[in-house]
Amino acid sequence: MNDSIRLFVAAPIPEKLKAELGELLQAFEHPAIRFMPPQNLHLTLYFIGNVPPQELPRIQEQLQTAAHQYASFTLQLDALELGPKPHAPRLVWARFAPNPVFEALSRHLVQALAPEPAQPLKTIPHITLARFRKDAPKPAGLPPVHSPTPLQLPVSSFSLWQSELASPHPIYRVLQNYPLS
């Protein structure tokens, strides 16, 4: 019996942006690429991992505190591309331009929620759109795709999500929403 829950903090994606990204994602049709279901798309702020259920109230309190300290912000899409390492990609992501509020909020969450004091890594705002199949050769040479019109992701809240590992995709459930101030 598993006595932990798998959690992460992420911002929801508006349906209109999901549709726009879906159109751009068609450039990545390949037998080795497995697209994420639209309901799983999110902007990760911090992956917490497996925690005992009794930790949930402390985590929720920390998230409430963080939400009150940060204002809404907007991310600008740079490109859809293979990532996170171009020479050894594992996925297709929508990568957004750096944003100081996103970076500060991510850093705050790491410092507040990491099980041990941790130095936050430089986070890249992104949405994972697809992953590579393990049973097929990885695609090579797929160039980045840029939107013909500027695409933005307004972030006015974030949520605590629970992740249950399943095949072919994990099952995500929002446990609580936190509006930014």
Out of 42, 68, 87, 169, which one is annotated catalytic? Answer: 42
Is residue 146 part of the annotated active site? The answer reads: no
**Lookup: tokens for 163:** 């992740």
- CA–CA separation, 175 vs 113, rounded Å? 16
User: Which one-letter DSSP state was computed for residue 37?
Assistant: P
- CA–CA separation, 156 vs 71, rounded Å? 8
Side-chain half-sphere of 159: how many Cα atoms within 13 Å?
15
Nearest Cα neighbor of 180 from 13, 64, 95, 26 is 64
CB 113 within 8 A of CB 46: yes
Is residue 42 part of the annotated active site? The answer reads: yes
**Reduced to 3 states, what is the DSSP secondary structure of residue 138?**
coil
- CA–CA separation, 113 vs 177, rounded Å? 17
Helix, strand, coil distribution of the chain in percent, nearest 5: 25, 35, 35
- CA–CA separation, 42 vs 6, rounded Å? 16
Out of 30, 87, 108, 126, which one is annotated catalytic? Answer: 126
> Which positions are annotated as active-site residues?
42, 126
